Amino acid sequence: MTDFDNRIPAGPIEEKWRTWLDDHRLVGPRQRGDHRVLVVGTGLAGSSAAATLAGMGYKVDCFCFQDSARRAHSIAAQGGINATKDYANEGDSVRRLFHDTIEGGDFRAREANVWRLAELSTRIIDQAVAQGVPFNREYGGHLATRSFGGVLVERTFYCRGQTGQQLLLGAYSALQKQVLDGRAQVHTRHEMLDLVLVDGHARGIITRDLVSGEIERWSADAVVLATGGYSNVYYLSTNALGCSVTAIWRARKRGAAMANPCFTQIHPTSIPQTHENQSKLTLMSESLRNDGRIWVPKAEDEERSADEIGEDERSYFLEERYPRYGNLVPRDVASRAAKLVCDEGRGVGPTGRGVYLDFQDAIAERGRAEIDSRYGNLFELYERITGENPWEVPMRIYPAPHYAMGGLWVDYELQTTIPGLFAIGEANFSDHGANRLGASAMMQCLADGYFIVPHSVTNYLSKHAANVETAEPSFERAEGEVNERLGRLVSVGGKTSQSQFHKQLGNLMIDNCGILRNADGLREAIGGLRSMREEFWRDLTIEPGEKGMNQSLEHAGRVADFLEMAELMCNDALDRDESCGSHFREEHQTDGGEAQRDDENWASVSIWEFEGPDSEPKKTAEQLSFEAVELEQRDYA
């Protein structure tokens, strides 16, 4: 029987984390060097966890598929990181950040986790500044803040438009210091292909060296997965091309349950797709919505250019529909509204899938220099990619898959249903409910990595450490299975490349399990996915040879996992018979067209266990209780 105890400490919400810290078991400084921890993934969560665990004295082996730990996709986070410093003197507080995050997530996140996140937010800023992260400053030398979607305060700290890069370099260089000190090792160009359990505990992983093709075994006392999200299931997304579900999916097959897989965020401000062979969508930071105004022509099938369309012929649809938040409504709300106006035929650009993001008013009001200092690099990015100058013509944007709120189920200690296996950052499901607010992802990754998981891993090691050797039969078995699967992939001998399959999968998913979902579409998608999987294993062709560098083999393995994961997402979306946040079932909407929750039946986390390759997954519900906030219909109007 799987253990679904969420281990939330008793007591008032303000004291839960303190209580847990006071009660958790420690490992003495001299004993820590006897324990080894594997950290998979080197983004904000993975690097910060690995650096902290090594700094405490544990031996750490860290893995990433990129050629350097510094390249993990956290590097691309642009806008900022939230913290309740209240430097802007707006009466901001832990409770307000907590409330915004719970409400932004449409009341589908755990209260206790979110409270802890809000509580730790200020320490992240302190830590990053101590590391030399160059956050923007005011003239007096104090830290600058700005506002972000879904909130009415300025609590977002930023380093120009490269906040993720700077925070990641802080964590990465802290990790490199641990490498110098001999306590951590970073294994780059290594992809985790399986998890190894010994006596029911996670004790190791199997990796493939992406240069030599060698399959290697790694044993340890505990394993931390920080492998990010799975938005690439949609093929075109804002994620880096290497982002995949593979690590958490293989862990799921070994017994780690997946929670809320259908909660995926479609970000409103991406550059629209322009051609068929496009490989990714580039995000424009949400911070642009602070000063840019979003509009479409009032008339359908408008053919005139933006400057020829008069003020009274424009529809500023977010400002009209949500006067209080205007262009700064949360991401799910903005994306849905943009999709709907495009579906009405009022979209702009060559494909009709786009809306204008216009800075003319902001430039007139604040001056070009001011706008340049805030968004200069984003304007350059836009011009580089589209060939259009946003100083002269309004930007065009369209929603793009961006972030997975779903992920491995974890308890309050960030431990999955497999003892000794922890999941942090985007790889877990814990803090964002059905929709993530802007500038919260980095906050969660670093809270998990610097301040939570090092303690919960310590707590685990104090009770369950074991000296496991890679000669154990379970390593042998897992390695055998990995080899067998790689062998199957290279020997299908069909005619269709892995990227063609990936594109087909993406089209199916964005149409049926994207911004809008309905029961018929989801049922159809499940059928489509089954035949697509069959086709994949019958007609795939990739570069032969498991040895040496083989990027098509890497990609094919990830596509195979996405094809399975996609079905679970559709099952979850079909099963959750309500709308909430990013999960918008067309059958369930308010009179005003907003997501209609069903708190009576669905104030819960859907947890899906793997029951074998050909069996239906087994669902368990974790009830969510709300004591510190009152459940209410989200209202941004």
Binding to other proteins in span 361-380, by CB under 8 A? none
Q: Looking at the DSSP assignment, which residues form a beta bridge with residue 223? A: 38, 421
247-255, 279-287, 292-300, 571-579 -> range binding other proteins (CB under 8 A): 279-287
Nearest to 145 by CA among 97, 107, 109, 104: 97
Q: What is the closest distance, in whole angstroms, from the C-beta atom of residue 243 to other proteins in the complex?
A: 8
**Alpha-carbon torsion (326, 327, 331, 337), positive or negative:** positive
Q: How far is the CB of 132 from other proteins (least distance, A)?
A: 5
Other CB atoms within 10 Å distance of the CB of residue 23: 9
52, 82, 84, 458: residue in contact with other proteins (rule CB under 8 A): 52
Which positions from 104 to 133 touch other proteins by CB under 8 A, shown as an x/- string?
Answer: -------------------x-xxx-xxxx-
Q: Is 142 in the site for other proteins (CB under 8 A)?
A: yes
Task: Tell me whether strands 222-225 and 36-40 are parallel, antiparallel or unpaired.
Answer: parallel
Instruction: Check binding of 620 to other proteins (CB under 8 A).
Output: no
601 binds other proteins (CB under 8 A): no
Per CB under 8 A, contacts with other proteins among 227-246 are: 240-242
* Stretch of residues binding other proteins (CB under 8 A), selected from 18-26, 515-523, 543-551, 602-610: 543-551
**Cα distance between residue 319 and residue 321, in whole Å:** 6
User: Residue 492 interacts with other proteins (CB under 8 A)?
Assistant: no
Q: Hey, what are 488's tokens?
A: 């199957």
What is the spatial distance between Cα 304 and Cα 279, in angstroms, rounded to a whole number? Answer: 30
Q: What residues from 422 to 441 belong to the interface with other proteins (CB under 8 A)?
A: none
CA–CA distance, 111 with 107 (Å, rounded to integer): 9
> Is 136 near other proteins (CB under 8 A)?
yes
Going residue by residue from 383 to 412, which x/- string records binding to other proteins, judged by CB under 8 A? -xx-x-------------------------
Kindly state the tokens that stand for 111: 């209260």
- 87 contributes a contact to other proteins by CB under 8 A: yes
Q: Tell me which residue of 550, 548, 535, 607 sits closest to 576, measured CA to CA.
A: 607
Q: Is 185 in the site for other proteins (CB under 8 A)?
A: no
Orientation angle between helical segments 111-131 and 16-23, nearest 10 degrees: 70
* 499 is a site residue for other proteins (CB under 8 A): yes
Give the C-alpha distances (Å, rounded to integers) separating 79 from 99, 283, 290, 373, 527. 21, 11, 11, 14, 39
Q: Which is nearer to other proteins, 209 or 524 (CB)?
A: 209
Residue type (1 letter), 141: G
Q: Give the C-alpha separation, 70 to 112, whole Å.
A: 32
Query: Cβ–Cβ contacts within 10 Å for residue 259, how many?
Result: 24
Helix (H, G, I), strand (E, B) or coil at 54: helix
Interacting residue with other proteins among 276, 312, 600, 630 (CB under 8 A): 276
- 3-class DSSP assignment, residue 389: coil
Residue whose tokens read 């390249």: 71
Residue 28 binding other proteins, by CB under 8 A: no
CA distance 1 to 3: 6
- Between CA 292 and CA 284 the distance in angstroms is 12
Instruction: State how far Cα 383 lies from the chain centre.
Output: 27
Stretch that binds other proteins, among 9-17, 224-232, 275-283, 589-597 (CB under 8 A): 275-283
Instruction: Show the site string, 312-351: x = touches other proteins by CB under 8 A, - = not.
Output: ----------------------------------------
- The nearer residue to other proteins, 19 or 68, going by C-beta atoms, is 68
Question: Terminal CA-to-CA distance of the chain, rounded, Å?
Answer: 46
Map tokens 């154990």 to a residue.
472
Q: What minimum distance in Å lies between the beta carbon of 250 and other proteins?
A: 21
CB of 51 or CB of 439, closer to other proteins? 51
- Our CA angle for 307, 313, 315, nearest 5°, is 100
Which of 273-281, 335-343, 353-361, 363-371 is the region at the interface with other proteins (rule: CB under 8 A)? 273-281
Q: Per rule CB under 8 A, is residue 495 in the interface with other proteins?
A: yes
**With respect to other proteins, which residue has the nearer C-beta, 275 or 463?**
275
Tell how strand 190-198 and strand 201-209 pair up: antiparallel
71 binds other proteins per the rule CB under 8 A? yes
Amino acid at 250: R
Q: Which is nearer to other proteins, 274 or 518 (CB)?
A: 274
Residue 272 C-beta: closest distance to other proteins, Å: 11
Q: Which of 47, 82, 147, 165 binds other proteins (CB under 8 A)?
A: 165
Q: Does 12 bind other proteins (CB under 8 A)?
A: no
Half-sphere exposure of 344 (CA within 13 A, CB side): 16
What number of chain residues touch other proteins (CB under 8 A)? 83
Q: Measured from the CB atom, is 56 or 629 closer to other proteins? A: 56
Instruction: Give the nearest distance from C-beta 534 to other proteins in angstroms.
Output: 20
Instruction: Give least dist CB 599 to other proteins, A.
Output: 38
- Applying the rule CB under 8 A, the residues between 443 and 462 that interact with other proteins are 450-451, 454
Q: How is residue 537 written in tokens?
A: 């294993």
Which of 51-59, 341-349, 401-409, 456-464 is the region at the interface with other proteins (rule: CB under 8 A)?
51-59
- For 67, half-sphere exposure in the C-beta direction (CA atoms, 13 angstrom radius) is 2
The reply to whether 207 sits near other proteins by the rule CB under 8 A is no
Residue 177 interacts with other proteins (CB under 8 A): yes or no: yes
Return all residues near 509 (Cβ < 8 A) that are at least 6 apart. 233, 234, 235, 525, 566, 569
Check residue 463 for interaction with other proteins (CB under 8 A): no
Contacts with 531 (C-beta within 8 Å, 6 or more apart), sequence order: none
Residue 110 vs 160, nearer CB to other proteins: 160
* Residue 543 is a binding residue for other proteins (CB under 8 A): yes
Contact call for residue 145 and other proteins (CB under 8 A): no
Q: Are 102 and 95 in contact (CB under 8 A)?
A: no
* Residue whose CB is less far from other proteins, 295 or 501: 501
